[in-house]
Amino acid sequence: MTAKIETDVRHITPSGRSVFADLGFDEQEAIALHADSLRKIENTLAIKEQLMEEIAVWISDKNMKQADVATVLHISRPRVSDVVNKKTNKFTIDALVNMLSHIGKPVRVYVG
């Protein structure tokens, strides 16, 4: 006998609403949690953009074709375009750090 996995959607938070409020946090705490999550997202995006910019500058300086860059970075040619166009949602920080190590630009992290 197999257990039935429930797959019914019970609630969807509408666009523009706070998921934290929908989870039952009081209004002030929901606002604070939402603001904190937005700051964390902004920070992550800024890090990804900085890493992508380093790769894009390297590509420009080397004047390489995307196919050659893809080989060096160990990614597909379309992914090179995604890096150059800073499509941050398509990459993890780890993946970008690995690409930078492939081009001789090791990443160091400083905590301030």
Q: How confident is the model over 80-112, as pLDDT tens digits?
A: 999 999 999 999 999 999 999 999 999 998 888
Residues 6+ apart with CB under 8 A from 103: 55, 58, 72, 73
Is this prediction's pTM over 0.85?
no
Question: DSSP 3-state assignment of 54?
Answer: helix
Q: How far apart are CA 54 and CA 108, in angstroms?
A: 13
**What's the token pair of residue 43?**
């920070």
19-102, which class in CATH?
A: mainly alpha
User: What percent of the chain is modeled with pLDDT above 70?
Assistant: 99
**What's the token pair of residue 42?**
């902004």
Q: List the one residue out of 30, 35, 41, 55 whose CA is nearest residue 105.
A: 55
